[in-house]
Amino acid sequence: MPPISRRFVFDKTTQQVVEVVAPPKLTNGICRWPIYSDAMAINPSQIPEAQAALAAAGVKTDYDSEGRPVLTDSAHRRAHSEALGFYDRNGGYSDPQRR
């Protein structure tokens, strides 16, 4: 018997049992990590300076080649945002807050 995670159906055109490969599931607005933030992007020449400032605040953040921070999870997003003075105006209690 095949594992539960696999699904098979009978294909009428080929007269054979074939495995159904499901497309990736849509998230319906649920965030997937990592996030590359355009709003908190910096000039790529300023990446070393920003990483030094974040390291002094206790937050390690990587940047991509375009200067966008790579936020790995919601706690990292909050720490990074608050260290640089960003906040989420419409967020909840777990989102970055105004300091």
Please report, in tens digits, the pLDDT of each residue of the chain (99 residues total): 555 667 888 989 899 998 887 666 656 666 688 999 999 999 999 999 999 999 999 999 999 999 999 999 999 999 999 999 999 988 888 889 887
Q: What six digits make up the tokens of 78?
A: 């909050």
Structure tokens at 59: 């937050």
**β-strand 69-71 against 35-36: which pairing, if any?**
antiparallel
How far apart CA 14 and CA 11 sit, in angstroms, is: 6
What is the value of pTM for the model shown? 0.67
